[in-house]
Amino acid sequence: MLKKIPFSSDAEDAIRWLSGALISLAVIHGLIGLIYITCGTCGGLWGSWLMFSADPILGVVMTTIVLIGFVIGLILLFQAFVLLGARTQFALVLQTDDDDQTYLVKGLAKLRTFFIVEIIFLLLAIASSALTAVQSALQLGSHLI
């Protein structure tokens, strides 16, 4: 089994750039996830509580949207940690001379996890958008009556 893979300087630069990009992406995901969890959930639950008093159906729809937002925040935080794990593996390729192939495989596996979770994230975003459209239609309908 090949332990050390002889990379060209261009390939090492590409791995170095990827490591930096993964850190940036992880920070962005982490910050947005924290914003979703803290601000979105607190403000959204307060709005849901107020909505329940006006219209229970709209309150349920709004609470569902807020909970989906909370799950989206958790997913973003999870993705941030997965990206940091992938970055660590790619950085080990550059920093060590012992097991490049294993580090590359582990890094790519973490990126695979990231993109699978991204599909779940997309489905939740679509569900949230659909529920927001339902909520808007219900609110519009209640104003027309």
pTM of the model: 0.80
Which of helix, strand or coil describes residue 145?
coil
Asked if residue 5 belongs to a domain, the reply is: no
Q: Are 33 and 84 in contact (CB under 8 A)?
A: no
Asked if residue 130 belongs to a domain, the reply is: yes
Number of domains composing the chain: 1
The pLDDT score that the predictor gives to residue 80 is 97
Residue 36 belongs to what domain range? 10-144
Asked if residue 66 belongs to a domain, the reply is: yes
Asked if residue 3 belongs to a domain, the reply is: no
Asked if residue 137 belongs to a domain, the reply is: yes
Residue 7 makes CB contacts below 8 A (sequence gap 6+) with 15, 93, 100
The pLDDT score that the predictor gives to residue 87 is 97
Asked if residue 4 belongs to a domain, the reply is: no
pLDDT tens per residue across span 103-112: 999 999 999 9
Question: Which residues of the chain carry a pLDDT beneath 50?
Answer: none
pLDDT tens per residue across span 65-90: 888 888 889 999 999 999 999 999 99
Asked if residue 77 belongs to a domain, the reply is: yes
Q: CA 135, 140, 141: angle at the middle one, nearest 5?
A: 95
Asked if residue 22 belongs to a domain, the reply is: yes
